Amino acid sequence: MTKQQDLLLISIQTPEDILPKYRNTPIGKLLEYHNLNRQFESYQNAQLLIGMCMDNRKHLHMPDNYAFIIRSGGANLRYSEFKVSYAIAVGGVRHIALIGHNNCGMVNLMARRDQFIKGLAEATGWGEEQAGDHFLHFAPMFEIENEIDFILSETKRLRDRYPKIEIAPMFYLVEDNKLYLIKET
């Protein structure tokens, strides 16, 4: 963990490390299953909605049927709102874990513009102009400046949008594959 991460993240190594408001909720149990090897209970229905990045380096340790998962670049749910509403309205969940991670590809997307356009054109047969337009259309929607700040702002946005739903900002460190709570001040 970097010094900055150490300041901003809450490491979960015992059940007492989980913030009291999340203990014994679907959010706290996700932390226990994933980090603390809590014995799996059996579930018939989803308890939780998880929003996380599409990045391939992450795998969550939790029981079958435990959660809906929406994966999107940077754990950005701005363009997945109908699915969030569905998980609440029809799926019955009342808790959301929003999980960012370090070394996210959505940070500084503009720096990978040429690689993106060239790669897309070569792989798909698109012209470079079409690939370039595609990048310029979508990159601003998905680019994030900093993984932790983005998750905190997205948490705030979702809390405003869904006031009665409990939403926890979390972070996945790809080095140790553990989940952390993000400190909120």
List contacts with Zn ion (CB under 5 A).
53, 55, 104
Quick one: 97 or 104, whose CB is closer to Zn ion?
A: 104
- Least separation in angstroms between CB 54 and Zn ion: 7
- Least separation in angstroms between CB 2 and Zn ion: 17
Rounded Cα distance, 90 and 174, in Å: 33
Q: What angle do CA 94, 87, 16 make, to 5 degrees?
A: 35
- Least separation in angstroms between CB 75 and Zn ion: 7
Q: What angle do CA 93, 169, 138 make, to 5 degrees?
A: 90
Quick one: 55 or 154, whose CB is closer to Zn ion?
A: 55
- Least separation in angstroms between CB 171 and Zn ion: 11
Rounded Cα distance, 34 and 6, in Å: 20
Quick one: 26 or 74, whose CB is closer to Zn ion?
A: 74
Q: How many CB atoms lie within 10 A of CB 52?
A: 22
Rounded Cα distance, 93 and 116, in Å: 37
Q: At what angle do helices 128-142 and 113-124 cross, to 10 degrees?
A: 130
Quick one: 53 or 96, whose CB is closer to Zn ion?
A: 53
Quick one: 18 or 70, whose CB is closer to Zn ion?
A: 70
- Least separation in angstroms between CB 41 and Zn ion: 30
DSSP3 helix / strand / coil % (the chain, rounded to 5): 45, 20, 35
